[in-house]
Structure 1
């Protein structure tokens, strides 16, 4: 009788996963509620005995799975999902689906950028440039530019004038926001992302469909280089 294959090895928890799990446990034990704030990062890192970099990565992971919201100037605020239990499984599920999200985003948004270059109106260009300005201001003020980043890609999608592609983008919008949060939380990434946006906007304004698609592909590949994927290889 042939024996079944042996079970897979139990994956080792990375340090930031353990820290995120410990924070989740602390939230439940202290009966913190949605809207409550976590201690400042420096204090929390000292309490946990980890570096600020590790804590920052743990907080990003918690934000990606919807347990907290990180607000510039307002700290880390708990959401309704902050008390749902251990978080390591949710963090790993996010990491597992990242490659597929990236593939879908590249295919859809590269095509949308090309169509936008061919179909954009002056109003579309105003919306695209307004999103760039908002992102630049947010980054200059110390933020990550998350909402303006989303507005930029939404403006490009609107300029493409494709209702079916827009519906497809709407279907995966929540998944894309996960990757956006993960990407823009990395050091230097907001400014790099803004530069990519400008290149896309210039090509769309010039009506160069090929250049717009190439610039969007380059941008998606850049922002898809995230720590969660590098650490799972």
Structure 2
């Protein structure tokens, strides 16, 4: 027998979700087109009567869904104009799958780190170190280190010399991007992430699989500490 769902508990939209709706209203009412910029974060916070942290979380959510591109020094640039309903549905789906993405990363990337420590070549180490430099330079300029983070994990994957695990990482790359943007947009997170990357790199350089695996676990637990998974 089918169970009636008409009186299911109603979920109250979180504050950042309400801000997302208002931002989408602004896009429509202002007739913004792809390539147009949204107002600065500080202005949005003042106009909407919310904290900058809430505005930042709303912008991160839109970036994760590919609605905007947040560029250091240029602000948020509109990529396309979606419907509010589609975005809100996407936000809920993103929040629901985020813990599963982290679980998948822990299962695969901890093994990759261990294998990288056991199998890395001098060329692999050079790629790992280069990724760290890219991330550090971007953070020093005020960026989030997104490109360097992606390069680092790709370098660790390559250093493991496991075609099957590399294929698994390629298959979940879009999902990993969600956790990357979500995590590195947290205040102070780029610097902490860089330090945990360096710990992984040291273990790989020292050819210590157990330490590399543990360092990766700790890093991925850091990645999972994001605002969207915390109660308001």
Q: Say yes or no: TM over 0.5.
A: yes
Tell me how far 1:85 sits from its aligned partner: 3.3
Tell me how far 1:6 sits from its aligned partner: 6.6
- TM-score after normalising by structure 1: 0.94
Tell me how far 1:29 sits from its aligned partner: 2.3
Q: Which residue of 2 aligns with 1:76?
A: 76
Unaligned runs of 5+ in 1: none
Tell me how far 1:9 sits from its aligned partner: 0.7
**2: distance between equivalents of 1:186 and 1:56?**
9
1:53-68 alignment runs, 5 A limit: 53-68=53-68
1:130-154 Cα offsets, whole Å, 9 max, x none, are 1111111111111110111010000
**1: distance between equivalents of 2:220 and 2:180?**
10
Unaligned runs of 5+ in 2: none
1:139-178 Cα offsets, whole Å, 9 max, x none, are 1111110111010000000111111111110111111111
Tell me how far 1:84 sits from its aligned partner: 3.6
3-state SS, counterpart of residue 11 of structure 2: coil
Give yes or no for the alignment of 1:85 onto 2:84.
Answer: yes
Q: Which residue of 2 aligns with 1:34?
A: 34
1:1-233 alignment runs, 5 A limit: 4=4, 7-80=7-80, 82-86=81-85, 87-231=87-231
Q: How many pairs were matched up?
A: 231
Q: Any conservation in 2 of the 1:139–1:190 contact (CA below 8 Å)? A: yes
1:2–1:49: structure 2 CA closer, same or farther, 3 Å change rule?
closer
3-state SS, counterpart of residue 231 of structure 1: coil
Runs of 4+ in 1 over 6 A off after TM superposition: none
Tell me how far 1:4 sits from its aligned partner: 4.7
**2: distance between equivalents of 1:65 and 1:4?**
32
3-state SS, counterpart of residue 69 of structure 2: strand
1:34–1:116: structure 2 CA closer, same or farther, 3 Å change rule?
same
Q: CA RMSD in A?
A: 1.7
**1: distance between equivalents of 2:202 and 2:84?**
46
Tell me how far 1:60 sits from its aligned partner: 0.8
3-state SS, counterpart of residue 77 of structure 1: strand
1:51–1:119: structure 2 CA closer, same or farther, 3 Å change rule?
same
Tell me how far 1:65 sits from its aligned partner: 1.0
Tell me how far 1:2 sits from its aligned partner: 10
**2: distance between equivalents of 1:55 and 1:126?**
39
